[in-house]
Structure 1
Amino acid sequence: MRSTPWPDGLRFAFGTLTVLPVRVTRWDRAAARGGMLCAPLAGLVTGAAAAAAGLSLLFLGSGALLAAVATAAVPAALTRGLHLDGLADTADGLGSGKPAEDALRIMKQSDIGPFGVLTLVLVLLAQVAALARAYDGSWARGALAAVVSATVARLALTLAARAGVPAARPEGLGAAVAGVVPPGGALAAAAAVTASAAAGGALLGPSGALRAAAAVVLALAAAELLLRHCTRRFGGVTGDVFGGLAETAATTALVVSALG
């Protein structure tokens, strides 16, 4: 297995998962492996930017709701809405009830169907409502929720790109990254993010540490359930499925962060 210098992995992660001006210099499987292992770092930067936007408005007196809207908008902007688009396409494919080949064709269409629209509306409402509740708790709790949710959203991609998960199509981003991450690397990334989230939550007290760790674990569990369902329905993963997994993990983490 060809090794990948970490700079190539970082460029792959930031160049494919954000709109930041990072030039991807390698597109081979080794670079994809490094990129997927570095995906949580792209999420960390995205989450920090989202938290900064929300806190800026909060400290200017906007109130929790407007701060929550800004916080939810930043990850969408930093991905050009690709993850939300993937979520909508995945919902349309799953909701169609058609065989895998027909469902994949529906997902490739440029329009969004009723299942996709409904899913987008409910997910965005849930994200904004959860963030507003977290900001009502404290500015630190809201900021932590933003960072944890964005990081675990990209961690879900790391786990979905592990060996043994096939691609549904022979082309596209899903095929480029499917199966590139060794299971041990995926588990190590999950453990590191969970521990880091708990450490950040500990600044808010023992309950904050528990809530942050639970947000990561439950978000990954929700993404794993969706991954397994999509793999059964479509025969593997696609770029759209990756987007759906990211938004599912982010929303679950935000809801857990708002509880208690």
Structure 2
Amino acid sequence: MPRTPPPASPRPVLRDGLRFAFGTLTVIPVAVTRWDRDAARGGMLCAPLVGLAVGAAAAVTGLVLLFLGAGSLLAAVATAAVPAVLTRGLHLDGLADTADGLGSGKPADDALRIMKQSDIGPFGVLTLVFALFAQVAALAQAYDGSWARGAVAAVVSAAAARLALTLAARSGVPAARPEGLGAAVAGVVPTGWALGAAAAVTLAGAAAGAYLGACDALRTALAVVCAVTVAELLLRRCVRRFGGVTGDVFGGVAETAATTALVILALG
């Protein structure tokens, strides 16, 4: 008599979650073998780890340029460029499309149609310009303070950006469309798990800042909190405006969080 296979665990395997996270959120050639809700849940929970890897790559690039004699501005430009390269610019594209959708003043269906178009409108262009200028300016100021401060800013902002994705994928946040990556990950993370991830990233950010001093520990923790707070405001606006989230909204939320974190880290 054939044996009945054991029931699948309700918790996604960490390996599948990591594959999903790196395979969908970066250009790193990772084979995503599972596309079910469990894998998506694990992937969105692992998103801050992707941010840690992306931020570390950005920080190393900036530090190498500084070591070779480049100024803080050039190092900041390179540091801001690495996450864009490692994500194929999808988060920046999502930010631009979200800005066009919100700025269009059209009904939800028309706004979503505008967001799906391949071109970028004036709202998107302006949002991209100001966001990238803010990121580069904040990173340059951080590198002027010290190389370590710039590296911490790169890593913390990238982790906070992906934490915003985890929170945006929590239970109760609907998808605006029945298809696409937004629909695949919308509502997959239990709220308690998402809040636990937020607490873990905030504490990790504080620990990274503590390397620079007690005030920096507080500043990095505050940067993470402010980043996810501003991202949450954008998320709620998009849910009200579009009826839910899309892949573009996820990208817009991530870039908003990254920019906010960098601005907070540049203050004081």
TM-score bracket, normalised by the shorter chain, equals over 0.9
- The answer for the alignment partner of 1:227 in structure 2 is 235
- From 7, 14, 20, the counterpart of 1:6: 14
Question: CA offsets per residue over residues 215-245 of structure 1, 9 Å max, x none?
Answer: 0000000000000000000000000000000
Alignment pair present for 1:48 and 2:69? no
Alignment pair present for 1:16 and 2:43? no
- The answer for the alignment partner of 1:38 in structure 2 is 46
How far apart are residue 61 of structure 1 and its match? 1.2
The number of aligned residues is 260
Q: How does 1:107-122 map to 2 (within 5 A)?
A: 107-122=115-130
Amino acid at match of 2:149: R
Alignment pair present for 1:99 and 2:107? yes
Amino acid at match of 2:42: G
- The answer for the alignment partner of 2:189 in structure 1 is 181
- The answer for the alignment partner of 2:250 in structure 1 is 242
- From 135, 139, 164, the counterpart of 2:147: 139
Amino acid at match of 2:121: G
User: Larger Cα Rg: Structure 1 or Structure 2?
Assistant: 2
What's the % identity of the aligned pairs? 81
- The answer for the alignment partner of 1:90 in structure 2 is 98
- The answer for the alignment partner of 1:72 in structure 2 is 80
Distance in 2 (alpha carbons) for counterparts of 1:3 and 1:142: 37
- From 123, 148, 173, the counterpart of 2:156: 148
Distance in 1 (alpha carbons) for counterparts of 2:110 and 2:140: 39
Structure 2 length-normalised TM:
0.96
- The answer for the alignment partner of 1:29 in structure 2 is 37
User: After TM superposition, which residue ranges in structure 1, 4 or more long, deviate above 4 angstroms?
Assistant: none
Q: What secondary structure is seen at the aligned counterpart in 2 of 1:256? A: helix
How far apart are residue 86 of structure 1 and its match? 0.3
Which stretches in structure 2 are left out of the alignment for 5+ residues?
1-8
Question: CA offsets per residue over residues 34-80 of structure 1, 9 Å max, x none?
Answer: 00000000000000000000000011110100000000000000000
How far apart are residue 21 of structure 1 and its match? 1.1
Structure 1 length-normalised TM:
0.99
How far apart are residue 3 of structure 1 and its match? 2.5
- From 46, 58, 61, the counterpart of 2:66: 58
